[in-house]
Amino acid sequence: MAAESDRLSYVGNNFGAGSLKCNNLCKYYVGVLNRDTMQMEVHRAQLFNMQPVIPGEATVAEKPQDATQTYRDKVDSLIEAFGTNKQKRALGSRRLNQVGSDTLHKAVAKAANTVIDQKGLEALQQEVADTEAQGELALHLPPCNAAADKPEDVYQFDDLLSPAEFEALEQAGAKLAALSSEELQKMRDDGGCLCVLKHLENMPSADEARDKTTRCAFYLSMLLKLARQKSISRKFGQEEGCPRMIQNKLLRTFSVETFNNGRVQNMVSSSMRAKLAAHCLALLLHMSHMTADLTLLHRDLGVTEARMIEVAKSMGLTLSKQPRGKANEAESVDTNRQASVVLPLVKYDQFMERRKRKKMH
């Protein structure tokens, strides 16, 4: 249908994209008033959407329906046109998630390509192989400098205790240094930590070395006590006189926060126990000239010897064990398993010697 005025021409269609969406079940009529007889005549009519036609303007061709649309796309189109509000909200959320997922995949792919270009594919494959060989324990080991020239620089002392934290342990270390032999024996009888007692009973004579040993012994005792806890209160260590800085370090580094019964609690998970074992072992290495007694440590930590050996191997330490002889059969310390820092660090194969779990029948 076409109509013209003094200024513009108008065109209307009763089909196609520009037509009105009329209800096919209804009939439309138009009334024409005769002004002479003042009577109205009723005629059947169709509805048209009249649009102005500007000379020289190109007519946009109607886009054919995409024959490659999937069933999912067709359903989405129906939801957009006739769906409920709930269905439309779900459709919008799904499309937003799809866009976010595509963006994330593109960002990860771009970052991966950048890393591959910088390091090279062979170097990355070697890093992955080394990480898999070390297992999940590699995530909880203290910072390691495998290229160090001296054994004491492999696991640096400042990474275990910062200078400020070491300074905060002065008063607590002085209390341990003042313990008498009778008090140490009482601690042993009460089931005290064997690793701590061993160093307190054999402290060096030099003042500086003696002070360092006592401070490290107190910090070690806090680590060992923490390893035997399940949930930790904010008052942990107050009875022993633990400085607030050390309390915060222990809670922040060796515990995970969980929400239980409407409040936040600090828990020591199994992965945090492995982290505690690794840090205790690294600290003992600095206290004993880069050699630590694994047997005493696994007893104090309450873990199995196999687990302790696994931690030591993940740290690249050299293991040794003196054979039991008739002369020293009564001295169990001589038969304890030792771990030492020997350069270069040992790269162990993946731990295949761990026994398989027995199947339950």
Q: What is the pLDDT of residue 297?
A: 92
Q: Work out the average pLDDT over 182-198.
A: 88
DSSP 6: S
The letter for the amino acid at 107 is A
pLDDT tens for residues 121-179? Answer: 666 665 655 555 444 556 678 989 988 899 999 999 999 999 999 999 999 999 988 88
Residue 86: domain span = 71-119
**Residues 30 and 81 reside in one and the same domain:** no
pLDDT tens for residues 294-341? Answer: 999 999 998 898 999 999 998 999 999 765 554 444 444 457 889 999
Q: Work out the average pLDDT over 341-350.
A: 84
**Residues 208 and 269 reside in one and the same domain:** yes
| Within a domain: 159 | yes
Q: What is the pLDDT of residue 20?
A: 66
| Within a domain: 256 | yes
CB within 8 A of 136, min separation 6: which ones? Answer: 271, 274
As given in the structure block, the two tokens for residue 220 are 């070690």
**Residues 280 and 175 reside in one and the same domain:** yes
| Within a domain: 150 | yes
**Residues 102 and 226 reside in one and the same domain:** no
| β strands within the chain, DSSP E | 2-4, 9-13, 28-34, 39-45, 49-53, 231-232, 256-260, 263-267, 291-293, 318-321, 337-340
Q: What is the pLDDT of residue 317?
A: 93
| Within a domain: 64 | no
| Within a domain: 261 | yes
| Within a domain: 59 | no
CB within 8 A of 32, min separation 6: which ones? Answer: 40, 41, 42, 43
Mean pLDDT across the chain, nearest whole number? Answer: 81
- How many residues can be counted in the chain? 361
| Within a domain: 136 | no
**Residues 237 and 298 reside in one and the same domain:** yes
Q: Which residue has the higher pLDDT, 121 or 9?
A: 9
**Residues 41 and 105 reside in one and the same domain:** no
Q: How far apart are CA 246 and CA 216, in angstroms?
A: 12
**Residues 216 and 89 reside in one and the same domain:** no
**Residues 46 and 93 reside in one and the same domain:** no
Q: What is the pLDDT of residue 146?
A: 87
**Residues 214 and 271 reside in one and the same domain:** yes
**Residues 166 and 40 reside in one and the same domain:** no
Contact 237, 246 (CB under 8 A): yes
**Residues 101 and 154 reside in one and the same domain:** no
Total-model pTM: 0.59
CB within 8 A of 149, min separation 6: which ones? Answer: 343
**Residues 157 and 302 reside in one and the same domain:** yes
For the chain, the domain total comes to 3
CB within 8 A of 53, min separation 6: which ones? Answer: 8, 9, 10, 11
As given in the structure block, the two tokens for residue 136 are 């999940």
Residue 244, SS3 per DSSP? helix
